[in-house]
Chains A and B, each alone.
Chain A
């Protein structure tokens, strides 16, 4: 959030009290938990920490999480651009309904998303028997993890682009067309530069969610060690094995991702497009 016209002032006595309470609250609810992750991960020294991270199942979980993000991110960026273009550049019946539909995954509990996929592709699901007949197993494989991740993070890029493109209007693009640009040139040289920061912003948030998704993935993955265990599931498995140091080592990689996400987010917001 950028600084606004609303004048910020030096706090008086009441202000100082409010700031003190807010900072104390933030310390207890945000700073301490974040610091605790790294403190617990490194408690037994760097050697143990790296041994925990390099444990084969954890390495595999990191790889699987990265792979999922690598597939999901480009698809949902593509979807976000298409959806934003369709609903901000054209008026058509049902447009408002479509905007609401895009938001559905945001309000649905991740567990519900997982259950929904189970009842579509699982053995007892709508398409399950047909898939089984064709010898295709989707549930409890990497494909299922990718599919629910696509569901859960579908709106992230779109919802950053829609308000921005709405506000920008289509004058620039119309000018490019009237100057003889074709559709691709218009998109590449006019639209894309206009939306690039919002696009990066949405992608950063989308990536954080893909890599951290737990509920939906835990329903459809089967959580098979060394095969369909993503990083959040691996953390849960290690915790249930009472391997707290291992769990925190795995968690620290995701916490680092969260810190990077916050830094990128602040940097993008400070760049002033929002």
Chain B
């Protein structure tokens, strides 16, 4: 025997790897990408491509500048790129999408030290910076044009936007919101590239559950708290507040709850912490949607809870085996 390895146990490994997880997340987002291209055509494809390539390029440039090994192979920049693309309007000009990619990777991720060290969800950092900087471009929505790709897109409001405008003007729900549950479910409504099709998103999420990359804690607590809280308002004044299903299916809740609020790096590690995180996201989302200036609150809610994650991790520790809990943690 020439030489043997000497190290302490365990001596075998599950084979799990970061690129494997990232690949699975990419696969899980493909149905949403396909739905986006189906409903919005070439512009959606362009947004996705620019976002992904931009994120990859920015990752390489940042790591070269900082003389760090280039870790494009871990797949995380691709995931950030897809998520960014899915979170932008299909009408986004190319320069805005590209700027978003630079913000996501440069400011959202690399400035903190790269993968694993960022405090905030990089794609959402970019989305919110763009939303505040370019409010016009970021809220210019078009009606979906499935299978009619040559046609000029018609400007339209998102269902949440339509509701918000009506409530601000009249204090009441608009007469007959456009669309309907079926349209909302398949994604035939104006909105961000990837947020419209609930079915495509849920299909991808089911795949991630089966691969055990998603756990139920954050998505379930997030969605349930949005439905319960918005349901309470709806019960109080159904003429003013939309019903919980509307909250669930329009806007970015499903994209947010299953793919953005579940970003591993920026969310708590303990099961209890995850549930608290999800509930926090849900409450903030409803408050912003119903009482904030913006019609949509998912991005802000998740970013605010990202900021709370270190604190949640500190106080929400699992009960250690064999320890009888006395009072709160510490």
Question: Does B bind A?
Answer: no
Q: List the interface of chain A (C-beta within 8 A of B).
A: none
Which residues of B are in contact with A by a Cβ distance under 8 Å? none
